[in-house]
Structure 1
Amino acid sequence: MEITQAKATLDSKAKFCLDLLPGKIIDIQFTNPLTVRFKLTLIGYEAGKYLILKYPPQAKNSQYSDVLKEGNGAIVRYIVEGERGECVAFSTTILAIAVRPEKLIYLSYPKQIESRQLREVNRLQTHIPAKISINKDQSFDSENLLQGIIIDISTTGCRFTVHVNSGFLALKKRQVFVHLLSPIDNEAVVISAHVRNNQMQGNRLNVGIEFAGSEQQKMHNLLAAYAIDIGQ
């Protein structure tokens, strides 16, 4: 993603601080003297001064020493999942590389931040009871369905949230079926979909779901029944 958009606002900088939590995986691209990309773990940062990343394990000994050195520039990208659904990017430079007690990279704190929406269609906040199954033919009342709430929705996808136990395994990126009850006749409506991402927040699992393209008319009708104005 080219960094060509307008300067970030102060509000964007506040969100930036909230988005970057220790342990987050970010993508970093160097272009001098050659183009190299790494996915590195964020250790932490001090707002306005620097960010600290783990040194790439694949850059052993002197490998990439001409790229990973003080003063070289880079572009950092990371994904903000959940309600915002954005790709964030900023330019930075290597301030220093620490070798003890662990090899770390210090990056300059960004002066401007760019973001791009990942979704083509805006989602509206909702509170619709729904269930998810792996098999299409399961009934809405089946105990095997995963029960939760749709907290935002459009004709192309939704965000489904469910309370989970500590031993719960996140849904894999695979085909699923979303089960909802029509508010008109209380009949179950089954939507073919695909899990795109998972995000744990406390004891809740947020699941990003994309509806199958063939289901758009069905979703138009269902959202109209729920009196949800999708602006389409």
Structure 2
Amino acid sequence: MEGEEAFLNLKKPQALNIDIGTKVYLTIEGVSFNVSSIFVGLLDDEYVIITLPQKYKTVQTKLYPGNKMIVKYLYNGSLYAFQAAIIEIITRPIRAIAIEYPKIVQNQDLRVVRRNNVAIPGRVEFKSHALQVVVFDVSRHGCCFRFQETRKSKVAFKENDTLKIYCLLPGVSNELSAMASIRNIRREDATLSIGVEFFQVNNQFISPLTEFIASIGG
């Protein structure tokens, strides 16, 4: 939780701007992975209601009154976060969790969020070449990918060249694609690592990418 708590000090407090039905991402004290839930409603200055998280059975023992969690969610292109303690687990008339109404809500513009280490299968189209790659570093504005060079896959990449990159994010059924410009190239033995900047992106690309970044703690 230490890294998550550091995030809470990045910005001045903001209001709790959130719509009913918004997906929220929970970092629960004593749990080593994030889970997701849905915002149901609130009573100002008293409590917030969220649904029981996905993978409920795997975190059930940590969902007890007094245990703390960090709640993150997206609103108008920014990532918001607050810390709260669990008040009660509700079983009737709905299955949900009541948590404290936050005293402080912080936000961070995702345009300045650090890149995130990942391992996402992808492919690249460059001129007449089609390459299978692994995306290992990603943000809203760009990514880095790598692949093993062979005689058949040897390609003369140069900075500022344009390519099209495709990737399949976990939990997203359709492959995402975007045009990108090469910003840096690094070769280590037979492995080529390339950093690119996205351009001509649309909402069908940026929305699932933003949700994915938020879900992994970006």
Please report the TM-score for the alignment, with normalisation by the length of structure 2.
0.50
Please report the TM-score for the alignment, with normalisation by the length of structure 1.
0.47
